[in-house]
Amino acid sequence: MSPSKKSPLRIEWLERKSNSERHLILLTAIVCVVAVALAIALGVVVCKMKSDADDVCLTPGCIAAAATAMSYMDTTQDPCDDFYEFACGHFIKETIIPADKFSVSTFSQLSEVVRSQLQLIITSEVEANASRPFKLLKKFYDICMNTTAIEQDGLKTIKRALKDLGGWPVLEGPLWNEGAFDWKLSTYKFRKFGFSTSAFLSFYVTSDDKNSSKNAITIDEASLGLSREYLVKGLEDKIVKAYYEVLVDIAVIFGADRASAVREIKEVVEFQIKLANICLPREKRRNATALYNIMTVEELQHDFPFLNWMEYLQNVFDVPGIEIPYDEPIIVTVPKYFPELENLLGKTPKRVLSNYMMSKIVLPSTHFLTAQLRDRMTEYHKVLSGQLERPQRWKECTAFASGSVYLISSALYVKKYFAEKSKMHAEEMVSDILVEFKKILKSVDWMDDVTRENALAKADSITTHIGYPDELLDTKKIDKFYMMLDDSSDNYLLTGKAIGLFFLEYRLKQLREPVNKTLWIDHARAAVVNAFYSASENSIQFPAGILQGIFFSDSRPNYLNYGGIGYVIGHEITHGFDDEGRQYDKDGNLNGWWGASTQEAFLKKAQCIIDQYANYSVLDQNLNGVNTQGENIADCGGVIEAYLAYMSWVERNGPEKKLPGLPYTPNQMFWVSAAHSWCSVETKEFLKMQVTTGVHSPDRIRVLIPFKNSEYFAKDFNCPLGSNMNPAHKCKVW
């Protein structure tokens, strides 16, 4: 694209200022506020800004917001040329990635604040009458922090577990008993101990896609241990080679002979490459209908007799009191995977299969083990993501403890840190943005009337979860939930396995329970800086953790809030109508409710998005427009919905004042605020990984393309048609 001309709306006097001069402008605004306050007390006016003071917000909240905006922006950049640099340029220049991170973003910065707050909660003094869940929270943190005990135990516990599970052949050498190995029996043992059973088949209980009011068993392809996108490239790929090398070194640390490890682990990775090649690529996993294949246990046995399915299901499920009959309906995602798996298993030596299964135990367990193993994993992550060091121990332990008993950590967090008025304000914004989305549904000219009616019904049926569920503050309910959590061990690894088993069995027990789509337990992760859409629930969720900071504040103008959290709200709403979400109806059921002509029109518009993003490259690698299309559609639609909602808010409430020291209109600052949600710096390795395996586009692209696709943005910044930020060709779904 050719460089654009400078926007007529650029304010040159501010751009010519140095950082110190801009700070002086801000200081002047602060002094002015103090003076105005004194003037009110004395009944005189002592200060007036050079600009019209009536048009500038001088509250402390506005001054703080202006200071934050200035610290992010590089106003020497032309907003019509590269808006990401304009909005985030100073953030990018001034932000250094710490050695224990692979990126720094507005999301991660707020997450660090929340994590520090959680640590303060966890390390506070235990009162005599403290609840058991709070004591568990502290116990799990202390077990994780006790590195002396972890080092003293060394590899004793994990090696004993490996022995009990049949032994890791690369460690056992010629003593390994091949005749006693059966991958199915090993899988059953893994289940009882709390290790993953997904080496060859993934097994889980979730709501039935075509009847979301009930739960069902799903059987899927293997969990590979390394992303398929890497494995299919073979051992010559840099990442696959690093994966191979870390497995070799871990085996040696465990006591294997290096020469044997080099040979046997190579066979393991070669097997994983073959396994990856019979698994579906991500691009083919976006059609939920194609992944929904109902078969009874009896039908599975008839069509795929290589496995005793009743025995397998009973042992992997293994929940007392729940029987699985032969007519149990099973959702099979990829039926053709089974004969290909049978063929691969039949051609692979038992020793390779066992080494592979054991490696899938050992690799994730290193997180719970010695510093030597963790240091070796850090070297691997350096290649994978560019992260140079392990995070500080307290950070890891805070995440472990707070995640393990998330109900109590979330309850304590909202009691201590969450502003209740934020919940009400966010609910109003959700309502406003939903109204605008429904206006879009009513106005698009490519929908037939029946599909439009169904789409509006779905939008009306969206359930919203803001901040936290009320039940989270009920201590008795939290106590009851964790009643059966086994906390008898002081060993870090065994504690982690006990927690994993607790949650696995909690989920499996839901098989015979009717689905409660508003169950508080499933919407109670409050201390999280993120947001979610659930297709099966047709719900959106905005935890307490994200309703603050750069995203939201009651003390600043609404154009910043609609640009910040409003963009996120619009994004999540739009997920219900992206390429995957649109496949589900208002009740969360997989249902072909789209008219043929409307579906064809949607696919054509989605293809425009796919092609548009695929034309962008990062580090000489083009984005995957297919895998990222859902997030891209949500970005492009979400920011427009938030913008229109703010315009409607202004119509009802009147225009808002500008920020001090920043000569940009409220409309322009909406876009700046929306961009600030995605200001980030990343390592090259992480960017490469994100482009290769991620469903989200890189943060820079999440600003540039959605804004380029908006005529409202171009109008607000007066960007000439044909400029970088106002191309003639635009893509739009919603």
SS (H, E, C) 110-142: HHHHHHHHHHHHHCCCCCCCCCHHHHHHHHHHH
Q: Where are the domains of the chain?
A: 60-94+419-468+540-717, 157-368
**435 half-sphere exposure, CB direction, 13 A CA radius:** 13
pLDDT at 322: 94
CB 210 within 8 Å of CB 292? yes
Using CA atoms, how far apart are residues 231 and 238, in angstroms rounded to an integer?
A: 10
CB 447 within 8 Å of CB 459? no
Q: Return the higher-pLDDT residue of 586 and 420.
A: 586
- The model's pLDDT over 633-660, given as tens digits with 9 standing for 90+, comes to 999 999 999 999 999 999 999 999 999 9
Beta bridge partner(s), residue 722: none
* CATH number for the segment(s) 157-368: 1.10.1380.10
pLDDT at 12: 31
Average pLDDT (496-514) is: 95
Which of the residue ranges 23-27, 216-220, 506-510, 700-704 would you say has the lowest mean pLDDT? 23-27
Backbone angles phi, psi at 332, to 5 degrees: -105, 120
Beta bridge partner(s), residue 211: 208
Averaged pLDDT score across all residues of the chain? 92
Task: Give residue 372's identity as a one-letter amino acid code.
Answer: Q
pLDDT at 27: 44
- The model's pLDDT over 92-128, given as tens digits with 9 standing for 90+, comes to 999 999 999 999 999 999 999 999 999 999 999 888 7
Task: Scan for tokens 């409710």, then name that residue.
Answer: 593
SS3 call for 308: coil
pLDDT at 10: 31
Buried/exposed 186-204: b ≥16 CB within 10 Å, e otherwise: bbbebbeebbbbbbbbebb
- The model's pLDDT over 559-617, given as tens digits with 9 standing for 90+, comes to 999 999 999 999 999 999 999 999 999 999 999 999 999 999 999 999 999 999 999 99
Using CA atoms, how far apart are residues 90 and 84, in angstroms rounded to an integer?
A: 10
- The model's pLDDT over 258-277, given as tens digits with 9 standing for 90+, comes to 999 999 999 999 999 999 99
Average pLDDT (432-457) is: 97
pLDDT at 126: 80
Using CA atoms, how far apart are residues 234 and 230, in angstroms rounded to an integer?
A: 7
Q: Catalytic positions, please?
A: 572, 635
- Long-range (24+ apart) CB contacts under 8 A made by 272-276 are 272/224, 272/225, 272/226, 272/231, 272/356, 273/231, 273/232, 273/234, 273/235, 273/240, 274/344, 275/200, 275/222, 275/224, 275/231, 275/341, 275/344, 276/224, 276/228, 276/231, 276/232
The yes-or-no verdict on residue 24 having pLDDT over 70 is no
The yes-or-no verdict on residue 18 having pLDDT over 60 is no
pTM: 0.90
Q: Supply the DSSP symbol for 349.
A: -
pLDDT at 52: 54
State percent of the chain over pLDDT 70: 93
Q: Supply the DSSP symbol for 226.
A: S
The yes-or-no verdict on residue 21 having pLDDT over 60 is no
CB 648 within 8 Å of CB 440? no
**Cα distance between the two ends of the chain:** 25
Q: Which helix (H) or strand (E) element contains residue 675? A: helix 666-676
* Residues contacting residue 55 through CB under 8 Å, at least 6 positions apart: 657, 658
**69 half-sphere exposure, CB direction, 13 A CA radius:** 31
The answer to whether the 60-94+419-468+540-717 and 157-368 domains have the same CATH topology is no
User: Which CATH fold would you assign to the domain 60-94+419-468+540-717?
Assistant: Collagenase (Catalytic Domain) (3.40.390)
Q: Return the higher-pLDDT residue of 30 and 121.
A: 121
Banded pLDDT at 54 (limits 50, 70, 90): confident
